[in-house]
Amino acid sequence: MPLRERTLSASLAAVAAAALLSTAAYLPTAHAEARSAPARTATAETATAKTAAALPEHALVGYLHASFANGSGYVRMADVPDSWDVIDLAFGEPTSTTSGDIRFDRCPKSECPNVESEDEFKAAIKAKQAAGKKVLISIGGQNGQVRLTTTAARDAFVRSVGAIIDRYGLDGLDIDFEGHSLSLNTGDTDFKNPKTPVIVNLISAVKTLKAKYGAGFTLTMAPETFFVQLGYQYYGSGKWGGQDPRAGAYLPVIHALRDDLTLLHVQDYNSGPITGLDNQYHSMGGADFHIAMTDMLLTGFPVAGDKNNVFPALKPSQVAIGLPASPTAGNGHTTPGEVNKALDCLTKKTSCGGYATHGTWPALRGLMAWSVNWDSFNKREFSKNFDAYYRR
């Protein structure tokens, strides 16, 4: 697949299949291509994260291809439809894997002929915020590998992410660490007390940013199922080694930051089959997968099957379901009818099929989509269905 297309890929399937012998091959998300980033002059505007408005009761989150073009087309910030309550700017990427120095470069006119000017972009962000929307910088993506292996990298992350937030007056941060960004060192088996530097330093960096911007700071995360729900079966390299050390590696981050976390929207796409709380495999593409994966987050689960080491449930208001916005956006596209079945089951306990949820959660926050651009390309089927479901 040409990199220009920037659809979601399956580059780590062989690695995961070899590392987790009894787990189906995992197909991770490819949100964005890595790019070199020239030095940026320090900036300008005062941070506004601390004054951010609350999310609506049911929210729609979308990634905006702000730094690149692809087959879905460039969407100017001012033209983002009002359906989107949280707009994640894709992507801030590091100058090198371990530098911690994050740069956000807007799409050049050579790639995006209709790209707006810097001033127009900033003005459009302010207009969205005035209309009650949140605009975040999303860090990572498929090729934006971020490994904060040292305290120096941690501090560089805090400085550089803060500079991006201040420059554009953003509401907060989305962590979209994928690939090999997060992994657990051998012997690091307790998600409540992580020891691995890349985990500990990320937690510390985010807490520092939260403290800087205050209670209104919006923090979201978009991990893949491999790094979250797979933790029900496998955690890191395991007590005896030999497993993929990335398995469940987001769990200590989520747990340590749960009191600061606004939204967790796991990517329910580009995934191999995952075992649910019914101890059955569930495959992407239909309501069943979203029901089973979300039930795990809202119920909690024993990590690596250890009933003495349970990952606690998140609040339903902290959880959204992540999906591709169109068939061309990624593997695991779910039709509107199946999306609605999943929402019905989780919020009303109807249309559940063969899966028995462990509760009913009418306060489930909503949906996330990759992406605003792919939804617009697909005549806004995804966002219009969300608005119709919640009668917005």
* 296 neighbors 351 (Cβ within 8 angstroms): no
Coil vs helix vs strand at 366? strand
- Look-up of token digits 């009668």: 391
- Where do we find the tokens 């995804």? 382
| Active site (annotated) includes residue 178 | yes
CB-count exposure of residue 168 (10 Å: 0-12, 13-18, 19+): buried
Task: For residue 232, give the 3-state DSSP assignment.
Answer: helix
Q: What is the DSSP letter of 224?
A: B
Whether 191 contacts 252, CB under 8 Å: yes
Reading the block at residue 266, the tokens are 């796991």
Q: Which of 33, 93, 116, 178 is catalytic?
A: 178
* CA 389 to mean position of chain CA atoms: 23
Pairwise CA distance, residues 287 & 284, whole Å: 8
Task: Give the tokens for residue 356.
Answer: 């028995």
- Residue 135, classed as helix, strand or coil, is strand
Separation between Cα atoms, residue 96 and residue 150, nearest integer Å: 13
- Rounded distance between C-alpha atoms, residue 368 and residue 267, angstroms: 8
Positions annotated as catalytic residues are: 178
